[in-house]
Amino acid sequence: MKKVKLAFLGLGTVGCGVMKVLRQNAEMFKRREGLDLDVKWVLVRDKSKPRAVDIDPATLTTDAGTILNDPEIDLVAEFMGGEEPAFTYIRKALMNGKSVVTANKEVIAKHWHTLEQEAVKSGAGLYYEASVAGGIPIIKTIRRSLQANHIQKFMGIINGTTNYILTRMSEDGSDFNTALKEAQRLGYAEPDPTADIEGLDAKFKLSILSTICFRNQVPLEHVFCEGITRVTAEDIAVAQQLGYGIKLLAIGKKHGDRIEARVHPTFIPLSHPLCAVRDSYNAIFIEGDIVGNLMFYGRGAGDFPTASAIVSDIITACQNENGHHRTGMDGAPVIFEKDWISRYYVRMLVSDRPGVLAEIAGLFGKHGVSIESVIQKNRGENASLIFITHEAHEQSLLRALEDMKGCAAVSSIESMIRVER
């Protein structure tokens, strides 16, 4: 039996979840894993605040130094969230040779390289399974079970809030604001929902996931990001008629030395397994050159699902498997693609008169965008045209749309949504 002294940084929802799991399944960890896990310190801001778990007041401290300089502490688990002071504490812990387990997507997305270097230097371990897709074991699986593969592409539903909102819009016909309010009422969305609905949360996770999949750092500034606030009930209805669902996807692709990483609402065929991922569930669909298609599905958030990933990391860290410090990065220089190739859905209000379609089709053609299908909906003042294009360069499509804004026949371009198959 190996006795391990842990310290927690933070004791919010996730921290309390981890504490409950460590207690609830303590006998199992001793029996199956040979580990006696003891939480010696918990860093909190306010010792008197009521908590969701009973806790010995002697373990609480408001001083990070107590933890970071305690030679008895083998491992630090961080649940504070946010960039600072979490980053400083994690770095200090690694410099002091303490392994770190964290769920902090912002710190890992922004500072992975620095932290990994500190870990290699001191021989400590750095684990962050919970930072992407909560309870779904994805990071360790890619690193430890898919080593035979070059991963060429992945598409993930990695934000539960937006998936819940899009599911409600799709199944109940609600508009965005109604679905958002419902999500807030149920606690799936924050009172300030910006980070979720604008795609920022997914952006952090995509940066981490593409770094792991492609074995090349994919810094945040190279991740394209568009949220779901402009997706309308009408777009969802039209998508369904065309055989598609709309999901906020985090997409990563690697072709040779070119990497693209983008978060945006996406048309995806109703028959695609990602389309069956409903409510606040997450899923990641991966294409490897050897294994073909894989999908991993589960809870992307919540105290217990997140705790499942964190406790697994704690156990892995304590068993001190070797090979950790092989970061497995390829390190070759890469180009971050901005002018990727995609199919596009475009919906626009137009004048209902002969020749309009020819004029608009001409503008697509001028920029090398060819059209797979077009449907006219309604007549007269509400006439609209709905296009699905063949594969085209993003910049060509954008230039075509720019041209159309100056075209008398086009009253407004209502939507442009990328299409994946």
Q: Any idea which residues carry the catalytic annotation?
A: 205
Q: How far apart are CA 104 and CA 82, in angstroms?
A: 7
Place of tokens 């609480």: 60
245 is in an annotated binding site: no
- Cα separation, 58 vs 39, in Å, equals 11
Q: Considering the complex, what minimum distance in angstroms separates the CB of residue 244 from a second copy?
A: 15
| Residues lying near a second copy in the complex (CB under 8 A) | 21, 24-25, 28-29, 31-34, 129, 135-137, 140-141, 144-150, 215, 271, 273, 275-278, 281, 283, 288-299, 302, 304-305, 307-312, 315-316, 319-323, 326, 328, 330
Instruction: Using alpha carbons, list the distances in angstroms from residue 228 to 48, 120, 200.
Output: 40, 39, 11
What phi, psi does 217 have (nearest 5°)? -60, 130
Closest separation in Å from C-beta 398 to a second copy: 34
C-beta of 294: minimal distance to a second copy in Å?
Answer: 4
CB count, 10 Å around CB of 51?
14
Cβ nearer to a second copy, comparing 107 with 309: 309
Was 407 annotated as part of a binding site? no
Q: Rounded to an integer, what distance in angstroms lies between the CA atom of residue 370 and that of residue 390?
A: 6
**Shortest CB 58 distance to a second copy, Å:** 26
Instruction: CB nearer to a second copy: give 28 or 186.
Output: 28
66 labelled binding-site residue: no
The vertex-302 CA angle with 301 and 307, nearest 5°, equals 95
Residue 12 annotated as part of some ligand binding site: yes
Using the minimum distance from each CB to a second copy, give the nearer residue, 28 or 375: 28
Task: Write down the least CB distance from residue 150 to a second copy, Å.
Answer: 7
One-letter amino acid at 86 equals A
Please state, in angstroms and as integers, the Cα–Cα distance from residue 373 to each residue in 106, 113, 311, following that order.
Answer: 41, 45, 50
Q: How far is the CB of 232 from a second copy (least distance, A)?
A: 25
Of the pair 150, 390, the CB lying nearest a second copy is at: 150
* Residue 190 known to bind ligand: yes
9 is an annotated ligand-binding site residue: yes
364 neighbors 393 (Cβ within 8 angstroms): no
Closest to a second copy by CB, 50 or 333: 333
Collapse the DSSP code of 129 into the 3-class scheme (helix H, G, I; strand E, B; otherwise coil) and give the result: helix
- DSSP at 12: S
Q: Among 87, 139, 126, which Cα is nearest to 110's?
A: 87
User: In whole angstroms, what is the distance from residue 325 CA to residue 389 CA?
Assistant: 46
Q: Which of 36, 116, 55 is nearest to 314 (CA)?
A: 36
16 labelled binding-site residue: yes
> What sections of 25-63 are H helices per DSSP?
26-33
The whole-angstrom separation of Cα 418 and Cα 264 is: 8
Q: Does 105 carry a binding-site annotation?
A: yes
Closest by CA position to 420, among listed 283, 239, 256: 239
Choice between 33 and 198, CB closer to a second copy: 33
Annotated binding site for NADPH: 105
Annotated binding site for NADP(+): 9-16
Annotated binding site: 9-16, 105, 190
